[in-house]
A and B are shown apart, each in its own frame.
Chain A
Amino acid sequence: MSIELKNVSKKFGGVSAVHEVSFSVNDGELVALLGPSGCGKTTVLRMISGLELPTGGDLFVRGVRVNDIPVQQRNIGFVFQSYALFKNMTVFKNIAFGLKIKKWKQADIAARVAELLTLLGLEGFENRYPHQLSGGQRQRVAIARALAPKPSVLLLDEPFGAVDAKIRQELREWLVHLHHDLKVTTLFVTHDQEEAMEVSNRIVIFSRGHLEQVGTPREVYEQPVNEFVARFIGVMNVLELEVRGGIARAHELEFPNHGLPDGQRLRIGFRPYAVQISTNLKTFRYQAVLRHTYFLGVLLRLELELPSGLTVRARMTKEEFAHLGLSDGQSVSMQIRQYRVLAHEGEVLRPEVATTYDIPVNLGEGI
């Protein structure tokens, strides 16, 4: 285990920024800390590096408790969102800085810097100053500088926040390749769920200082433990149902009551892809009008409005869309194929409740 947090908390004054967080990162993993801004994810990263001290709990790096080890001695590579390059030094000196402190020999320093320059595609830039580099190049110099002293783990704070969308995409792929080549345990902070899904082996999801869920991108997408995760990862239709007459209802939509008595409430969510649509108004149980179509490339997102005014988001490929011959304003029938029972933010459902329920296509006909 490369990094382990046990009930780590951080309070600034009386305000709790991180609350009893526990998770671990395995050797060689690439893990994303994901959450909206201000959720405490950067604080977690800074506590691991030693730039911030936890007010409670234990931090382990490679099996050693590091709570009392100062930042200078933790041997952790940290890449700052602002790059934080040394403006008065050339690229070479920036990368060599950590090695000089460790009193490496001149020849070894030169060899290590040359190796990193090649690895990061920065050959020929060693004598440039940071202000002579593009944003993407500065980012790579910052990573090279952090990697130079062979850190036990690499931490990146919003590594792609400050570059434009196209470069960001390139850097993401590049980070995956770099990680594949170096196998260094890497933890990065992001608020972009797409970035986290695309790049990482596992995702740690935060909200308001609490850890909500840890899992592979597929797990957190398909089995979100609560409403927050469900809404944060991808698009989810969320409904609050009330049980009446043994059936859980929201507007005209009806679901099984999951054993709850009348008068109880429950929340469910379903992904847009779980919504089936037919142009034949008799095929599925519910009637709806296609209000608007959003073009997303290969996929289209559809906004359906039910007679009660409830809006449901659906999704289909553009081939399906063309095949059905849909157009805005058209009346269709629809059906929800699959849904999950959701817990509120911060609470986790019992495993037997937090599963995905399939609805048979003919359910609508029966009730």
Chain B
Amino acid sequence: MADKKFNPLPGFGLTLGFTLFYLSVIVLIPIAALFLKSFSLSWREFLDLATNARALAAYKLTFGASAIAALANAVFGTLLAWVLVRYDFPGRRFIDALVDFPFALPTAVAGLTLASLFAENGWLGQFLVPYGIKGAFTPLGVVLALTFVGMPFVVRTLQPVLENFDRGVEEAAATLGAGRWRTFLRIIAPTLLPTIITGFALAFARAIGEYGSIVFISGNMPFQTEIAPTLIVMRLESYDYTGAMALAIVLMLFSFVLLAAINWLENWAGKFTKQ
């Protein structure tokens, strides 16, 4: 005991033990069960179920629409965070509160609202549809819904970082002759990049898992507006448990790889900007 590292604030053993237990119950055991269950399938059967044309179309829409939505959130979320942190204007606090709205609103409600807005006879749809912009029951609708649910992530991750951003750095660039555009591109953007990537990753992950709002706005047309989570539900409803499971495993592995890649990217972008 004497050579055990002394810590005046004990608790490591207990907290780690609880963490592992909690993680097992909530995350690891369900995932393991999913994998175990899929072992009842042969490799061929699994491939058939996981990579048939309908499934591939669903993956493409899920990941594609999620990426576009997360990217849109990265750009506009950065802008929104910048405006909220840097400027004081009437209604700032209200807008700030509004950012959390997608967190609190049941996503089904969001989907329903968006669908009725963009439908051919909806408030916005009646003006947009004649110009060929169809927001409801199209892939565009999926992107819209995913952008909505992912909106707070970039804003909320970026805000504290922007608040601590040293204004002196921008002023230093100005005294050295740099205009605003150059200052933004060469100094502000590289410094914020790791945080923007983190926000992007969170929004992306959230979008991949989204189901509730999509059901209403996409129309769930196979090969067109059907996302992978919807397809899983379809298969479950027709008692095709193994088929649903095969999709789930692919989705999970994909998400895992993507998140790992983004994590690595984030580390890479942040390596110059440690405190």
Contact = CB atoms under 8 A, between A and B. Distances in A.
- A and B part of one assembly: yes
Interface of A: 49-51, 71-78, 80-89, 97-98, 101-102, 129, 131, 142, 145-146, 149
Interface of B: 166, 168-169, 171-179, 182, 186-187, 190-191, 272-275
B177 A72 contact: yes
Contact of B178 (A72, A75, A146): A72
A322 B191 CA distance: 61
The A contact surface, by secondary structure, is: loop
Q: Shortest 4 CB-CB distances between A and B: which pairs?
A: A84-B168, A98-B176, A88-B190, A84-B172
Contacts of A142: 172
A84 B272 contact: no
A51 B176 contact: no
B196 to A, nearest CB: 13
Interface centre among A73, A84, A129, A131 (most CB of B within 10 A): A84
B12 to A, nearest CB: 29
A51 B182 contact: no
Contacts of A88: 187, 190-191, 272-273
Contacts of B186: 86, 97
A84 B274 contact: no
A71 B176 CA distance: 9
B187 A86 contact: yes
A149 B173 CA distance: 12
19 contacts: A49-B175, A50-B174, A71-B171, A71-B175, A74-B175, A76-B175, A80-B172, A82-B166, A83-B168, A84-B169, A84-B172, A88-B187, A88-B272, A98-B177, A101-B176, A101-B177, A131-B273, A145-B172, A149-B177
A88 B193 CA distance: 10
A87 B272 contact: yes
Contacts of B191: 87-88
Given A72-B174, A72-B175, A131-B272, 15 more contacts: A51-B174, A51-B175, A72-B177, A84-B172, A85-B172, A87-B273, A88-B191, A88-B272, A97-B173, A97-B176, A101-B176, A129-B272, A131-B275, A146-B175, A149-B177
